[in-house]
Chain A
């Protein structure tokens, strides 16, 4: 069965600094990868997804992620964060052909002024 590991439970950064949230998944023949964001007291929203093609995926709010098959990683990055990016971020994976996602433990991103 698929599994996802988010290497950092909390990441504090200063406003306008760059950030990287790390995600590794267990190896499989082929997978789909996702990043979701959860703002306080809300459900999750899709940030971006990798299905195939270019390994660099751009999403909403200036976020991007890079799929690295050899390292089974899908790290999320943003070059300059804002206070409004404070949220919890979840990496998720599904096997191709399956339509259910396996989520990581989440990373809480805190932006300090």
Chain B
């Protein structure tokens, strides 16, 4: 069965370190998204991609970057981790058109100390 997997599930890092969260999907979807989930804020869009070599900033992109070198992967990099980036991060993918729902990974819980 097709799926979307995130790794690691949990990560603890120190302020100032670079961190990369992995997202891999086998749906063959063109669209991929990164959200962060925080109490009281719901899910907020960080970056998204509509295809290989395409990346776009979302609502809360400062301090984050993504790259899309193939269809399956959209890694999220925190250039210099800050305590404000402690959160749960979700990757999602979807096919073309509004009829195609978002498929979510199970999330990565990141703690920045």
Q: A and B bound?
A: yes
Docked complex Cα distance between A6 and B40 (Å):
10
Tell me whether A103 is interfacial, beta carbon within 8 Å. yes
Whether the pair B43, A43 counts as a contact (CB closer than 8 A) is no
Give min CB distance, B84 to chain A, whole Å.
Answer: 18
Whether the pair A49, B41 counts as a contact (CB closer than 8 A) is no
Please encode chain A, from 65 to 103, with 1 for each CB lying within 8 Å of some chain B CB and 0 for all others.
Answer: 000000000000000000000000010001010011111
Within 8 A of A (CB), among B23-68: 31, 33, 35, 40-45, 48, 50, 58-59
Docked complex Cα distance between A106 and B4 (Å):
23
Whether the pair B94, A41 counts as a contact (CB closer than 8 A) is no
Write the chain B residue with the least CB distance to A95: B98
Docked complex Cα distance between A104 and B98 (Å):
18
Whether the pair B99, A102 counts as a contact (CB closer than 8 A) is no
- The count of residues in chain A whose C-beta lies closer than 8 Å to any C-beta of chain B is 25
Partner of A100, one of B4, B41, B45, B107: B45
Docked complex Cα distance between A6 and B43 (Å):
13
Docked complex Cα distance between A51 and B99 (Å):
8
Please encode chain A, from 1 to 39, with 1 for each CB lying within 8 Å of some chain B CB and 0 for all others.
Answer: 000101001000000000000000000000010101000
Give min CB distance, A82 to chain B, whole Å.
Answer: 23
Whether the pair A43, B98 counts as a contact (CB closer than 8 A) is no
Tell me whether A46 is interfacial, beta carbon within 8 Å. yes
Write the chain A residue with the least CB distance to B100: A99
Q: Could you say which residues of chain A place their CB within 8 Å of the CB of B31? A: 99
Residues of A whose CB lies within 8 Å of any CB of B are 4, 6, 9, 32, 34, 36, 41-46, 49, 51, 90, 94, 96, 99-106
Complex A-B: 15 CB contacts under 8 Å: A6-B42, A42-B107, A43-B90, A43-B104, A43-B105, A44-B92, A45-B104, A90-B43, A99-B50, A100-B58, A101-B102, A103-B42, A103-B43, A105-B40, A105-B42
